[in-house]
Chains A and B, each alone.
Chain A
Amino acid sequence: MTATLFLLAFAALAGFVGPHVLARSRWPQRSPRLGVAAWLVLSGSSALSGLLAVTTVAVPVSVAGHGLADWWRTCLGELRHYYGDASLTVAGLAGVAAAMVVGRLMYSAVSHLHAVARVRRRHQRSLALLSAEADGLVVLPHPVPAAYCVPGRPGRIIVTDSAMRALEPDQLDAVLAHERAHLTGRHALLVGTAAVLERTFGTVAPVFGHSRREVVALVEMIADDAAARACPAPRVAEAVLNLANGATPTIALAASGSDILRRLRRLATPPRPLGWIRTSAALATLVVGVALPLTAVAVPVAAAVVVATCAHPIHH
């Protein structure tokens, strides 16, 4: 019971309060890698503790502990003994709910992976007719200046000929460094994780939508930092503006324009990365964020295991 309440409180804290605090802090922009980790931990541990809370209703920790010590005796009879018949129904419903949530999460993940793989495979196949290069840079004829990458193995970077004309050589290097950072940093996987969490739990708590949007924005900043090692950061900002000036507007300024403005500001006046003290403090917080819900379950379970192994059932 205590574990259930604690887990619910933690899930709510991470799901509703956490995103507002984190969205308002400035440090993720200074160390975007840490920022991505923070958002994924916040949304992941909110989902995890919510799930564990439901699970502890289905299988109370004392029973689970007993079961681990002597698992073959944790049968329906034992559960009935613990609950009485009425609350067994509640436990059963909670068990079904927990299983459904896990099922839904797995379904989202698998369908996401399928959809992404299909888009990439089709894209790679069409590219194969345009370029004999199996890896490296592909230049396509097109009036819209654009650059993008197809994550995967091998990943590919594609630039249109009009983008080549819109960029100075050092800016082109920077754009390529940016895309290479996406590929080597497996950024698509990070964005994908956040997207799957949003698709599964997005309607439950605001943290999941926030997390997906921020991870998308932060991986761009990580890649921009790589670009800024190829040429001065303000010139990277210039390159962003040159390639944003496409003939086909595809996004509303309100949605992604503010993200682009954040990128541009950051490039115009690069912030100092976090010092080691703050970095360690943030890392420690992340570890606690993951460990807390797990501990909330593990400690009573471990205690119950000890009780069950040493002295035989004292709870009836």
Chain B
Amino acid sequence: MRGFGDLEAVIMDRLWSWKRPVTVREVLEDLRAYRDIAYTTVMTVMDNLHRKGALTREKDGRAWRYQPVRNRDEYAADLLSTVLDEAGDRGAALMRFVGGMRPSEVDALRRALAERQGRRRRT
């Protein structure tokens, strides 16, 4: 357990799997099954997530009900779009194993490679 960073991921994970708006109390009770944690801690973290734009909330009686703005897949897709769209990253802020190419281009490379190996075997 290293600070709030971990807790953010744990709480997001819960909210993503529940798929319905939940209160801080509900999250707390779920987390209490695994670790000793204070109400105010969970509230602070969820409030932070709301401020960062990761969660929306609506009033339900006296409590707020929170839920993720985007589902896990959408969130991941958004994150990866910065990686997959390589234009402008010439200074290697992120380093990708290999760039994406059209299947026809990959086939061309595969053929070029096989041809070369074939030639080597013959000689």
Contact of A195 among B76, B91, B112, B113 (CB under 8 A): B91
In the complex, how many residue pairs between chain A and chain B have their CB atoms under 8 Å apart? 167
Q: When chains A and B are docked, how far (Å) is the Cα of A150 from the Cα of B91? A: 12
With both beta carbons as reference points, the residue of chain B lying nearest to A174 in the complex is identified as: B97
Contact of A244 among B2, B83, B99 (CB under 8 A): B99
Query: Which residues in window 50-91 of B have CB below 8 A to A?
Result: 54, 72-73, 75-80, 82-87, 89-91
Q: Are B94 and A244 in contact (CB under 8 A)?
A: no
Q: When chains A and B are docked, how far (Å) is the Cα of A250 from the Cα of B120? A: 32
Q: Are B97 and A179 in contact (CB under 8 A)?
A: yes
Nearest CB of B to A40, in Å: 14
- Count of residues in B whose CB is under 8 Å from the partner chain: 49
Given contacts A151-B92, A253-B105, contact A140 B6 (CB under 8 A): no
Contact partners of A127 in chain B: CB under 8 A:
79
Q: Are A243 and B98 in contact (CB under 8 A)?
A: yes
In this complex, which of A192, A244, A260 has the most chain B Cβ atoms within 10 angstroms of its Cβ? A244
Contact of B94 among A112, A123, A129 (CB under 8 A): A123
Residue B96 at the chain A interface, CB threshold 8 Å: yes
Residue A30 at the chain B interface, CB threshold 8 Å: no
Contact partners of A184 in chain B: CB under 8 A:
none
Contact partners of B73 in chain A: CB under 8 A:
141-142
Q: Are A245 and B106 in contact (CB under 8 A)?
A: yes
Q: Are A119 and B82 in contact (CB under 8 A)?
A: yes
Residue B101 at the chain A interface, CB threshold 8 Å: yes
Contact of A248 among B2, B89, B100, B113 (CB under 8 A): B100
Q: Are A148 and B94 in contact (CB under 8 A)?
A: yes
Residue A235 at the chain B interface, CB threshold 8 Å: no
Q: Are A188 and B92 in contact (CB under 8 A)?
A: yes
In this complex, which of A151, A249, A256, A263 has the most chain B Cβ atoms within 10 angstroms of its Cβ? A249
Contact partners of A123 in chain B: CB under 8 A:
79, 82, 93-94
Q: When chains A and B are docked, how far (Å) is the Cα of A115 from the Cα of B89? A: 10
Contact partners of A132 in chain B: CB under 8 A:
6, 9-10, 13
Residue A144 at the chain B interface, CB threshold 8 Å: yes
Nearest CB of A to B108, in Å: 7
Q: Could you list 24 A-B pairs, sorted by A, with CB under 8 Å?
A: A126-B78, A130-B72, A130-B75, A132-B13, A134-B2, A140-B79, A142-B76, A144-B100, A146-B100, A150-B94, A188-B91, A192-B91, A192-B92, A195-B91, A212-B90, A244-B99, A245-B103, A251-B86, A251-B100, A251-B101, A257-B101, A260-B99, A261-B113, A268-B116
